[in-house]
Structure 1
Amino acid sequence: MAFRGPKVWLWRWRRNPLRRRADTLEAWVVLGAWLVTLLAGVGAGLAVSRAVEHQLARERVEWQPVVARLTEHAPGTADPGTSSGERVWGEVAWTGADGSDHTGQVRVDPGSTQGTPVTIWTDAHGRLMTQPATEGQAQIRAALIGALVGVSAAAVPFVGARVLRGRLERRRLDQWDTDWAHFGPLWGGRRADGR
């Protein structure tokens, strides 16, 4: 294992007679990679977070609650003594804002009778939707999705820089081998032919 010695900060940027061009190039690659990683991650994360929050806000405005009625008896039995929270699928019918009739499947209490009113959510065309996220839920969802996209976007330049640094490291080691093969025998007091 090679001894590296104490870590000296920013050594690639300081004047040093042992510093090679490859060291300076690697310093610029690392700096550029960190900047691109930071900008890509933060930029993509914020953009996606804003887009998700905007879309969820639009859904809160456009989707409206509508009272629908069960078209048939819901499966199961209504047991008022238990509150397990289990719900079953039931067929409901409702009238859209344009007067057209619609039907769909929603979750209802077990044993609900035909004609029981059920609050559903529809879009502007009367299509069945889920209940839109509240403002607090939208902020949490947007932040989580933004963070996930930000980390994913930041991973691309980070991995690319790691690959480039690996190639620079291999190139530098090959150069060391070449230089050592040339100068090593001179330091040992022996000539290249072994005498």
Structure 2
Amino acid sequence: MRAISGLWRWRRNPLRRTSDLAEAWVALLALLLIVVAAPVIGSLVGAVAQDALQQSVVDQHHSRHPVTATVVRKLDSARLEPDPDSTSAHDSRSRVLADWTAPDGTRNHGPVMSDLKSPHKGDHFRLWTDSHGRIVARPLDSATATTHAVLAGFGAALLTAGVVESGRRLIVWRMVRRRYARWDQAWDRAGPDWGRTGTGS
């Protein structure tokens, strides 16, 4: 982007090459795309993600229901999570055998994860289930959905800026290579006697 700073200086400079001016205009165009197009694309992606995620929030809150479960007994904690990466997120949770009633009235019994640190028989805790009593993840909340949408928009803007800058660098690299190739051709035409008396230099 340094070429932009000298764009106006190169307008009437006798040492200015055509490639210098072209490089400056490419840099200026890339800057305009980064300043204008990247935020627009980020905003569009964020808006689309926000709509989709908020619809997902509504759908999940309609299809997932909180129920109260009762602890029958605590299960062996060694059977918690087989994945060592996921156990850190569940350090404060306990595996228990519990009873609960589904929103459709059916009674359920089985092993579940509870948020009780030291569960005892008869303790109550909340579970999220579908309408048939099958355990599901907690529904996405609106604030988390908005955060994900903002991150998606920001990521799209950064990706757009990166693509534009990569394109600018590729174009400038090709221009420099073409310039070097022309210099090589000029040196070849000058021949090995360039600079000597009588060679026309």
Mark yes or no: TM-score above 0.5: yes
Cα deviation, residue 101, structure 1: 6.2
Describe the superposition over 1:61-80 as per-residue Cα deviations: whole angstroms up to 9, x where unpaired. Answer: 33254113146423479xxx
Alpha-carbon distance in structure 2 between the residues aligned to 1:182 and 1:154? 42
Which letter maps to 2:137? M
Does residue 69 of the first structure (1) align with residue 85 of the second (2)? Answer: no
Describe the superposition over 1:27-73 as per-residue Cα deviations: whole angstroms up to 9, x where unpaired. Answer: 33223333334455323322332233334433443325411314642
Return 5+ residue gaps in structure 1 as ranges.
1-6, 78-84
Describe the superposition over 1:81-122 as per-residue Cα deviations: whole angstroms up to 9, x where unpaired. Answer: xxxx72223455655545566677333214424554322345
Distance 1:45 1:100, change over 3 A: farther
Percent of paired sites with the same residue: 31
Alpha-carbon distance in structure 2 between the residues aligned to 1:29 and 1:101? 69
Counterparts in 2 of 1:128-147, with a 5 A limit?
A: 128-135=136-143, 137-147=144-154
Which letter maps to 1:152? L
- Report how many residues are paired: 180
Cα deviation, residue 172, structure 1: 1.5
CA contact (8 A) 2:69 2:99 kept: yes
SS in 2 for 1:129: coil
Other-structure match for 2:175: 168
Distance 1:191 1:9, change over 3 A: same
TM-score normalised according to structure 1 size: 0.64
Return 5+ residue gaps in structure 2 as ranges.
78-90
Distance 1:40 1:177, change over 3 A: same
Does residue 87 of the first structure (1) align with residue 87 of the second (2)? Answer: no
TM-score normalised according to structure 2 size: 0.63
Alpha-carbon distance in structure 1 between the residues aligned to 2:50 and 2:138? 17
Other-structure match for 1:18: 15
Cα deviation, residue 164, structure 1: 1.6
Cα deviation, residue 143, structure 1: 2.4
Does residue 148 of the first structure (1) align with residue 155 of the second (2)? Answer: yes
CA contact (8 A) 1:86 1:109 kept: yes
Other-structure match for 1:53: 50
**Structural RMSD (CA):** 4.1
Distance 1:189 1:120, change over 3 A: same
